[in-house]
């Protein structure tokens, strides 16, 4: 299962002229509505992996602070920009120039005393990661970009001789611009501890009595266009993984202060890999012997549970955008992959050490292919796309796949996940429209919708999976929920949502015997549930170790190993059983240069395939 909430950047604006300037850069936009009524448009930024959620929030620091916190908890963005116009405070900064705030001053803080007003400065620094990306992206632009502090106050400054102007000149004299929202945004981002934020302002006036004249001459649209262009250029420069946080901090956060300081010093000398391996499970050491000594006492020899995986040759290349889906055909000699390049590809693995592409890329979708699954009999494949369509393809000859019918309809938003039932009689889909849908596919050329859309999740359904006897379905969603469903007509929920995750649930999967359910989440954890009695699921444990979102989880065919792929660019293997939580096997598998969105085992368990934002597929072979 992919990271089905693609990397999101939030851009907030105060005014409609600012909103329109950013909106002009987005395509395929749709409106999202928060339960409290806040609205954003979410669209694609062509030529990048980014989805951009754009909001117009009005003026003022308090509003900006409140809504920054809201969109962060709601949309979980990788980065947030506040983009708009401002008054310039320096003679060498011209109308139409852009100021990228290296520091944000709150200008009203202080104490009034009999001796006069004593300033108590407040300041927030820009994200180093974003500032560096901006400095690189904005070289040679048609507008001049300045990297300077800005001043923020709940006041429109139109008099360079006013008391507030003198106050700023005396106490914040390095400020290059003045505006009304940045301090609220910066403070809210600071309190999250993880949200990389940048304030970008186009200069529309000189904060003097000519402000009204400048506005009438069209300076605001000009300045707004410059600021919007700067934000878009930075997103083109910024790889989403650059904004995903620092794994060392995530690992160190599990330790007391003294140990954390020691750890960070060690990371500086030894690198992240050693520290990450040592600290995977505080209080329970990692077990590299499981990977290197299959015959160790207390271990069953020659099983997938005690086997590590090693990279099998160079990556498979051909896709020209992120690879979200990977699926083995029954028999294991063919692999399918789906990508944000809107295509499906097939690969010949008759000799896994020499994989070869089969035929040409399969086009037809008009947006990202998020999910691809083979029918249990192997000659039918279903794929799902952000274009709201599900396709059924005859792949008896993968070199010449044939569309069996018009795309399967029913969902009204992006389809993030599809799954065949073990008998092959049903197909399930999960979508951004918050529903699950079922189709009967006795005749694949004429799939038949079963019942009405099934609601239960309060946000996008990102993953669906059937149990081995197809009596139960599992689902995960952007609402942080894992749910179980009785597969009947209609599909019915089994109890309340399984609690625990604090981020989007990107992937759910059942063990081959149906006794276990694993879930991977944006909260960087994996949770393992015993569900042989679905009405009374039991949490066996939660696994930590990944430094970013867990996008995908998959069981080995014998059910003893769980693989997980993450936005930290790694794959991890975990020993699982129906009596304890996941335990790490060896060290993380490294090689991908971008987030890992899909993992899957071959039918015999000897191979693992992974797909990544680096546009490649990698094969990993079990080693004993």
Token pair of 329, please? Answer: 């055909």
| pLDDT at 246 exceeding the cut of 90 | no
pLDDT in tens, 145-200: 999 998 887 666 555 566 666 776 777 778 888 888 988 899 898 887 778 999 99
Q: What is the mean pLDDT of residues 500-521?
A: 96
Which pLDDT score, from 0 to 100, does residue 120 have? 67
Residue 597's region, left for phi above 0, alpha for psi from -120 to 50, else beta, is: alpha
294 contacts: CB under 8 Å, gap ≥ 6: 301, 302, 303, 306, 307, 624
- pLDDT at residue 261 greater than cutoff 50: no
**Nearest one of 490, 426, 497 to 461, comparing CA atoms:** 497
Query: How far apart, in whole angstroms, are the C-alpha atoms of residue 622 and residue 310?
Result: 6
Reported as half-sphere exposure (CB side, CA atoms, 13 A), residue 89 has a value of 26
Query: What confidence tier does 409 reach under pLDDT thresholds 50, 70, 90?
Result: confident
Check residue 61 and give its pLDDT.
86
Q: Which range (11-20, 132-141, 236-245, 614-623) has the least confidence?
A: 236-245
Residue 270 C-alpha from the chain's centroid: 29
75-79, 158-162, 395-399, 468-472: least confidently modelled range: 158-162
527 has a pLDDT exceeding 90: yes
The pLDDT value recorded for residue 6 is 66
How confident is the model at residue 418, as a pLDDT? 97
pLDDT at position 209:
73
What residues are paired with 485 via a beta bridge? 473, 493
Average pLDDT for 110-123: 69
At which residue do the structure tokens 């549970």 appear? 305
Q: Given pLDDT bands bounded at 50, 70 and 90, which one contains residue 62?
A: confident
The whole-angstrom separation of Cα 359 and Cα 355 is 13
E runs forming strands in 252-322: 308-311
Contact partners, residue 135, CB within 8 Å, separation at least 6: 147
Q: How far apart are the first and last CA of the chain?
A: 27
Which token pair is 356? 């070869």
- Cα–Cα dist 181/83, whole Å: 10
- Helix and strand counts by DSSP (H, E) for the chain: 11, 40
Question: Running DSSP on this structure, what letter comes out for residue 79?
Answer: E
For 548-601, list the strands marked E by DSSP: 550-555, 561-566, 571-575, 583-589, 596-601
Residue range 286-293: mean pLDDT, rounded: 32
pLDDT recorded at residue 161: 63
pLDDT at 122: 80
Three-state SS at 192: helix
Confidence (pLDDT) at 292: 31
Cβ-contact 352, 340 below 8 angstroms: no
Average pLDDT over residues 367-375: 96
- Rounded mean pLDDT, 589-616: 95
pLDDT tens digits, one per residue of 297-341: 333 333 333 457 899 989 999 999 999 999 999 999 999 999 999
Give tens-digit pLDDT for 8-21.
999 999 999 999 99
Over 80: is that where the pLDDT of 249 sits? Answer: no
Predicted local distance difference test score (pLDDT) of residue 254: 32
Alpha carbons 73 and 9: distance in angstroms, whole number: 13
Q: Which domains does the chain have, with CATH numbers?
A: 8-244 (3.40.50.1580), 254-285 (no CATH), 312-623 (2.130.10.10)
Here the tokens at position 619 are 């094969």
Share of the chain above pLDDT 90, in %: 64
Above 80 in pLDDT, residue 495?
A: yes
Percent of residues, the chain, with pLDDT higher than 70: 83
pTM above the 0.85 mark?
no
CA atoms of 437 and 505, how far apart (whole Å): 18
- Mean of the per-residue pLDDT values of the chain: 84
Burial 323-353 (b: 16+ CB within 10 A, else e): bbbbbbbeebbbbbbbbbbbbbbbbbbeebe
Q: 153 Cβ partners below 8 Å, 6+ apart?
A: 61, 106, 107, 108, 164, 178, 180, 183
* pLDDT tier at 515, thresholds 50, 70, 90: very high
Is pLDDT above 60 for 293? no
Rounded Cα distance between 167 and 350, Å, is: 75
| Res. 119 pLDDT band, cuts 50 70 90 | low
CA 483 to chain centre: 21
Tell me how far apart the alpha carbons of residues 539 and 409 are, in angstroms, rounded to a whole number. 36
Dihedral sign (CA 232, 234, 240, 246): negative
Q: Is residue 140 left, alpha or beta, with left meaning phi > 0 and alpha meaning psi from -120 to 50?
A: left
């Amino acid at each position: 299962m992919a990271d089905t909430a693609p990397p999101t950047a939030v851009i907030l604006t105060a005014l409609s002229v600012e909103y329109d300037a950013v909106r002009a850069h987005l395509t395929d936009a749709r409106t999202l509505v928060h339960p409290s009524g806040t609205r954003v448009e979410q669209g694609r930024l062509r030529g990048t992996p980014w989805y951009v959620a754009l909001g117009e929030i009005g003026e003022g620091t308090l509003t900006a602070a409140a809504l920054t916190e809201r969109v962060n908890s709601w949309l979980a963005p990788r980065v947030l920009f506040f983009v708009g116009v401002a008054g310039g405070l320096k003679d060498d900064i011209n109308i139409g120039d852009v100021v990228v705030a290296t520091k944000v001053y709150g200008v009203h803080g202080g104490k009034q005393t009999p001796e006069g007003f004593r300033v108590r400065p407040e300041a927030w620094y820009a994200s180093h990661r974003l500032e560096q990306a901006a400095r690189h992206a904005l070289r040679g632009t048609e507008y001049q970009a300045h990297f300077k502090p800005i001043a923020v106050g709940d006041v429109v400054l139109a008099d360079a001789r006013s008391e507030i102007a003198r106050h700023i000149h005396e106490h914040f004299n390095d400020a290059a611009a003045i505006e009304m929202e940045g301090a609220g945004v910066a403070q809210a981002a600071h309190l999250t501890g993880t949200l990389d934020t940048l304030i970008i302002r186009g200069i529309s006036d000189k904060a003097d009595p000519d402000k009204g004249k400048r506005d009438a001459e069209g300076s605001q649209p000009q300045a707004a266009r410059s600021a919007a262009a700067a934000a878009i250029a930075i997103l083109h420069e910024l790889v989403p993984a650059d904004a995903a946080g620092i794994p060392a901090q995530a690992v160190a956060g599990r330790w007391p202060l003294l140990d954390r300081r020691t750890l960070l010093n060690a990371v500086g000398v030894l690198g992240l890999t050693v520290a990450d391996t040592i600290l995977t499970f505080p209080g329970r050491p990692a077990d590299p012997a499981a990977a290197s000594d299959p015959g160790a006492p207390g271990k069953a020899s020659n099983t997938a549970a005690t086997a590590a995986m090693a990279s099998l040759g160079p990556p498979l290349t051909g896709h020209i955008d992120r690879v979200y889906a990977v699926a083995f055909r029954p028999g294991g000699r063919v692999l399918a992959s789906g990508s944000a390049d809107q295509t499906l590809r097939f690969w010949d693995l008759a000799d896994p050490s020499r994989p070869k592409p089969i035929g040409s890329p399969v086009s037809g979708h008009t947006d990202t292919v998020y999910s691809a699954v083979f029918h249990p009999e192997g000659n039918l494949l279903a794929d799902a796309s952000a274009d709201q369509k599900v396709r059924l393809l005859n792949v008896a000859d993968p070199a010449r796949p044939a569309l069996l019918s018009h795309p399967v309809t029913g969902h009204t938003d992006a389809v993030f996940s599809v799954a065949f039932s073990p008998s092959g009689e049903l197909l399930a889909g999960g979508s951004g429209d918050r529903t699950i849908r079922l189709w009967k596919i006795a005749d694949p050329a004429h799939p038949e919708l079963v019942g009405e859309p099934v609601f239960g999740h309060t946000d996008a359904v990102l993953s669906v999976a059937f149990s081995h006897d197809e009596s139960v379905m599992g689902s995960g969603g952007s609402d942080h929920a894992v749910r179980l469903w009785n597969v009947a007509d209609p599909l019915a929920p089994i109890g309340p949502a399984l609690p625990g995750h604090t981020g989007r649930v990107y992937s759910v999967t059942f063990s081959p015997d149906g006794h276990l359910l694993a879930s991977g989440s944006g909260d960087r954890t994996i949770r393992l549930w015993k569900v042989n009695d679905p009405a009374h699921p039991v949490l066996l444990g939660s696994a930590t170790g990944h430094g970013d979102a867990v996008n995908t989880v998959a069981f080995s065919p014998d059910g003893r190993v769980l693989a997980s792929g993450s936005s930290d660019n790694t794959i991890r293997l975990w020993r699982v059983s129906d009596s304890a939580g996941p335990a790490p096997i060896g060290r993380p598998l490294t090689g991908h240069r971008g987030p890992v969105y899909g993992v899957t085992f071959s039918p015999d368990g000897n191979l693992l395939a992974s797909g990544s934002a680096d546009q490649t597929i990698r094969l990993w072979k079990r080693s004993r």
